[in-house]
Amino acid sequence: MTTTFLTHVRSQLALHKLRAGRGRPLLILHGLGEHSPSLAPPITKGWPGPVLALDFTGHGDSSLPAGGGYTCEALMSDADAVIAEVGPVTVLGYGLGAYVGLLLYGSRPREIRGLVIADGPGFDGGGGRPTSPKLLHVPSNEAANGTPDPWALAELASDTRPPDYAAEHVRQVATLANMDEAIAVVSIGRPEWLEAAMKSTVVFESDIAAALSLFGAA
């Protein structure tokens, strides 16, 4: 594994190359509180191109910001920094990384060739609709102990992920990505945002190997 650090806004993002290859990279986005794998997962064996993995801000080897303030949109921007660096990718997202991948796909529909949505930590966030607002609290001694940032764990486990917001991003993919099958759902979990996304004809159920085979040929 080799690691490159991307300077993005005020973060230093760790981008790991888990396996070399030729062609479009596969980008793995990890779940909440997780970090990139140190080896290319066996399930990616058939992927012809390089296999990359990004540590989101406040996770793994990426930098730890002060004072929290995490949003899925900020993490989407982290993943977009990878596209700026390596060009178009296919995304394999776990949990939080799957939701972030969906937002990114809807925002960069021409620069992603297929998204695989897999189970993982932080899949649901705080649910599909806002609840009573609250003040989150993280003891100051915990916030200085390195990644994963406890602010990320607190904030990204309670953010609202409305079904219509997810559906809006899928509509962008369906209209602009020029792919009949663009988003493969391999998860057991079906948070509200995913149920809404699955109403689109470009979203389909699959398994990781089959989805990567399809997207690798796209």
Q: Binding residues for another protein, per CB under 8 A?
A: 7-11, 57, 63, 65-74, 76-77, 80-81, 84, 106-109, 130, 132-136, 138, 140, 143-144, 151, 155, 159-162, 165, 168, 171-172, 175-176
Nearer to another protein, 39 or 176 (CB): 176
In angstroms, give the least distance from the CB of 74 to another protein.
6
In angstroms, give the least distance from the CB of 127 to another protein.
12
Size of the chain, expressed as the number of residues it contains: 218
Question: Do residues 120 and 31 lie in contact, with contact meaning Cβ atoms separated by under 8 Å?
Answer: yes
Nearer to another protein, 80 or 181 (CB): 80
In angstroms, give the least distance from the CB of 113 to another protein.
17
Q: Is the peptide bond before 130 cis (omega within 30 degrees of 0)?
A: no
Question: How would you list the strands of the sheet with 11-19, edge to edge?
Answer: 2-8, 11-19, 51-54, 26-29, 89-94, 112-118, 183-185, 203-205
Q: Is the peptide bond before 163 cis (omega within 30 degrees of 0)?
A: no
Nearer to another protein, 43 or 143 (CB): 143
Nearer to another protein, 109 or 212 (CB): 109
In angstroms, give the least distance from the CB of 96 to another protein.
14
| Two structure tokens written together for 63 | 């930098």
Helix (H, G, I), strand (E, B) or coil at 111: coil
